[in-house]
């Protein structure tokens, strides 16, 4: 294990997952500083964080954001920059500038685009030999209507933007009639100019997720978990280590094909017959990190190798997208133990379980399951040794609620409005 004390610069301090990561780095003996564009965030008051900096919003002030990260990295003499939320794409875009001051633990923007674009990801998984849902891309309302006519009666489809998060703007339609006008206008999404949407086969089954840290195509840290309760249709709020061999096989092969370095997460649907379908990818930190509480070696998974990005560039990425078998692992790479959660690891966002999970219950059976999950899983935010982030949640929720009132957006949309990336260059 690496025992040298390092200074870690984290971005995205609003997320519970970032707080978990900060605590892991702190417990491993490292100094943690955080850069965040919201005035209230969980890491701001954590004992695991030495200093917190308010920075410009990356989506609205991209250049200023990168310059401020450079100044913070220089001032703190940071060794490693780990982006955690969707600001990862802006950090990736400014990666070469940032490298003058700190090592960014992130791939190039060209590489991240391939993973984050839901249509490109499905093609990549299919080319790698995995079963994927039938998927069609459309770029206009006319194209959408044409695609809907090809849906077989009795079948369901999922409509979603190629770039989105937390299952926001997802529409699920079932064709119950052979009639041409089997859907209503209110059921259809509004496709904005320049947007790509997916018309994807609906796969029924249980949702599985994975989270991993990889260095040059080899896993350093890995977890997978079954989703039991979510915030709306998307983000998991209760999870337990599943140790699913099929999920791990997929993750190992995909990061190996791309020689990927960084954090990467996948969502899957497993059918009743055991078939596993990859649905989408988030090349960033996710809730899977909560399953590593107490594992100091989890922090060390972020160190080592030749640095983010390996030796490939955007041109290699495009070639590998067409023929992924040509992107192979370096023969000299040494296999190292992969850090995984304890067998009984489980966690929950208690406040989200109350605000989202409880109102979603539709039966006594679901209620018993909710109560069981709520009682058995530890809260990911509150700790007696570090209690203030739990109270900061309330301030953060107040800020987001005020934004919702002023903008008309949902709370989840407000939480990412200053950091989300939708394929813009």
How high does pLDDT run on average in the chain? 86
Joined together, the tokens standing for residue 173 give 């339609």
pLDDT digits (tens, 9 = 90+) for 83-131: 999 999 999 999 999 999 999 999 999 999 999 999 999 999 999 999 9
- Count of beta carbons in the 10 Å neighbourhood of residue 283: 22
Instruction: Please state, in angstroms and rounded to a whole number, the distance separating the CA atoms of residues 425 and 420.
Output: 13
pLDDT digits (tens, 9 = 90+) for 25-59: 999 999 999 999 999 999 999 999 999 999 999 99
The two beta strands, 7-11 and 80-82, are parallel
pLDDT at position 321 over 80 = no
Q: Are residues 175 and 218 in the same domain?
A: no
Instruction: Please state, in angstroms and rounded to a whole number, the distance separating the CA atoms of residues 337 and 95.
Output: 29
Q: Are residues 30 and 69 in the same domain?
A: yes
Instruction: Please state, in angstroms and rounded to a whole number, the distance separating the CA atoms of residues 284 and 294.
Output: 21
User: Given 179, 201, 223, which residue is the final one in a domain?
Assistant: 201
pLDDT at 142: 92
Joined together, the tokens standing for residue 29 give 């003996």
Q: Are residues 16 and 100 in the same domain?
A: yes
DSSP secondary structure letters along 120-160: HHHHHHHHTT-----EEEE-SHHHHHHHHHTSPTT-EEEEE
pLDDT at 83: 98
pLDDT band at 377 (very low <50, low <70, confident <90, very high): low
φ, ψ at 190 (rounded to 5°)? -90, 115
Residue 128 belongs to some domain of the structure: no
Q: Are residues 306 and 273 in the same domain?
A: yes
Q: Are residues 208 and 341 in the same domain?
A: yes
Q: Where are the beta strands (DSSP E) in 37-120?
A: 51-54, 80-82, 103-104
pLDDT digits (tens, 9 = 90+) for 232-261: 555 666 788 999 999 999 999 999 999 999
Tell if the pTM clears 0.95, that is, is over it: no
Q: Which residues contact 331 (CB under 8 A, 6 or more apart)?
A: none
User: Given 318, 347, 376, which residue is the final one in a domain?
Assistant: 347
Question: How many structural domains does the chain have?
Answer: 3
Q: Are residues 67 and 179 in the same domain?
A: no
Residue 356 belongs to some domain of the structure: no
Q: Are residues 197 and 208 in the same domain?
A: no
What is the pLDDT averaged over residues 10-31? 96
Instruction: Please state, in angstroms and rounded to a whole number, the distance separating the CA atoms of residues 310 and 317.
Output: 12
Going by the DSSP 8-state scheme, the letter that residue 189 receives in this structure is P
Residue 374 belongs to some domain of the structure: no
Output the domain CATH number for residue 282. 3.30.470.20
Q: Which residues contact 390 (CB under 8 A, 6 or more apart)?
A: 379, 381, 382
15 neighbors 44 (Cβ within 8 angstroms): no
Output the domain CATH number for residue 38. 3.40.50.720
pLDDT at 328: 37
| Three-state secondary structure call for residue 227 | strand
User: Given 175, 201, 227, which residue is the final one in a domain?
Assistant: 201
Q: Are residues 235 and 320 in the same domain?
A: yes
Residue 371 belongs to some domain of the structure: no
pLDDT band at 306 (very low <50, low <70, confident <90, very high): very low
pLDDT at 186: 83
Residue 121 belongs to some domain of the structure: no
pLDDT digits (tens, 9 = 90+) for 388-419: 999 998 899 899 899 999 998 888 788 889 99
| Three-state secondary structure call for residue 60 | coil
Q: Are residues 173 and 236 in the same domain?
A: no
Q: Are residues 153 and 176 in the same domain?
A: yes
Domain range holding 56? 1-106+387-425
Question: 238-277: buried (b, 16+ CB within 10 Å) or exposed (e) per residue?
Answer: bbbbbebeebbebbbbbbbbbbbbbbbbbbbbbeeeeebb
| Environment class of 324 (CB within 10 Å of its CB; exposed 0-12, middle 13-18, buried 19+) | buried
pLDDT at 184: 87
Q: What is the 3 state secondary structure string of 336-386? A: CCCECCCCCCEEECHHHHHHHHHHHCCCHHHHHHHHHHHHHCEECCCCCCC
Among residues 238, 223, 265, the alpha carbon closest in space to that of 352 is found at 238
Residue 378 belongs to some domain of the structure: no
Q: Are residues 243 and 333 in the same domain?
A: yes
Instruction: Please state, in angstroms and rounded to a whole number, the distance separating the CA atoms of residues 219 and 251.
Output: 9
Residue 55 belongs to some domain of the structure: yes
pLDDT band at 139 (very low <50, low <70, confident <90, very high): very high
Q: Are residues 175 and 216 in the same domain?
A: no
pLDDT at 318: 42
How distant, in Å, are the alpha carbons of 157, 159, 191, 281 from that of 162?
A: 15, 10, 11, 11
How distant, in Å, are the alpha carbons of 25, 30, 115, 304, 407 from that of 4?
A: 12, 8, 33, 12, 46
| Three-state secondary structure call for residue 113 | helix
Among residues 67, 114, 115, the alpha carbon closest in space to that of 94 is found at 67
Residue 329 belongs to some domain of the structure: yes
**How many helices (H) and strands (E) in the chain?**
14, 16
């Amino acid at each position: 294990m690496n025992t040298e004390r390092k200074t870690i610069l984290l971005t995205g301090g609003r997320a519970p997952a970032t707080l978990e990561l900060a605590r892991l780095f702190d417990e491993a003996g490292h100094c943690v500083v955080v850069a965040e564009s919201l005035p209230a965030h969980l890491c701001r008051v954590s004992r695991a964080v030495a200093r917190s900096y308010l920075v410009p919003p990356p989506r609205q002030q991209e250049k200023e954001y990168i310059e401020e990260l450079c100044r913070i990295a220089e001032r703190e003499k940071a060794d490693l920059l780990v982006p955690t939320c969707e600001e990862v794409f802006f950090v990736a875009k400014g990666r070469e500038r940032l490298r003058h001051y700190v090592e960014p633990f992130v791939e190039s923007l060209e590489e991240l685009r391939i993973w984050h674009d839901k249509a490109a990801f499905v093609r990549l998984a299919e080319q790698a030999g995995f079963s994927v849902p039938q998927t069609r891309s459309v770029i206009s309302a006319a194209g959408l209507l044409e695609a809907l006519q090809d849906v077989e009666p009795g079948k369901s489809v999922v409509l979603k933007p190629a770039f989105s998060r937390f299952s926001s703007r997802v529409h699920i339609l079932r064709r119950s009639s052979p009639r041409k006008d089997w859907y209503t206008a209110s059921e259809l999404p509004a496709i904005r100019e320049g947007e790509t949407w997916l018309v994807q086969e609906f796969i029924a089954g249980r949702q599985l997720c994975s989270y991993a840290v990889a260095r040059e195509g080899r896993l350093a840290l890995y977890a997978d978990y079954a989703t039991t309760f979510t915030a709306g249709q998307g983000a998991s709020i209760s999870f337990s280590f599943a140790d699913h061999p099929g999920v791990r096989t997929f993750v190992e092969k995909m990061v190996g094909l791309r020689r990927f370095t960084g954090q990467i997460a996948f969502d899957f649907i497993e059918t009743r017959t055991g078939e596993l379908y990859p649905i989408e990818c988030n090349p960033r930190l996710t809730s899977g990190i909560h399953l590593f509480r107490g594992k100091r070696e989890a922090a060390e998974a972020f160190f080592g190798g030749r640095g983010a990005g390996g030796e490939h560039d955007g041109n290699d990425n495009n070639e590998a997208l067409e023929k992924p078998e040509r992107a192979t692992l370096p023969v000299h790479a040494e296999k190292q133990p992969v850090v995984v959660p304890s067998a009984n690891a489980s966690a929950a966002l208690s406040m989200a379980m109350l605000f989202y999970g409880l109102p979603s219950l539709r039966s006594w059976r679901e209620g018993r399951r909710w109560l069981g999950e709520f009682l058995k899983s530890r809260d990911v935010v509150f700790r007696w040794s570090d209690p203030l982030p739990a109270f900061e949640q309330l301030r953060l929720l107040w800020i987001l609620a005020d934004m919702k009132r002023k903008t008309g957006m949902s709370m989840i949309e407000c939480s990412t409005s200053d950091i989300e990336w939708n394929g813009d260059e």
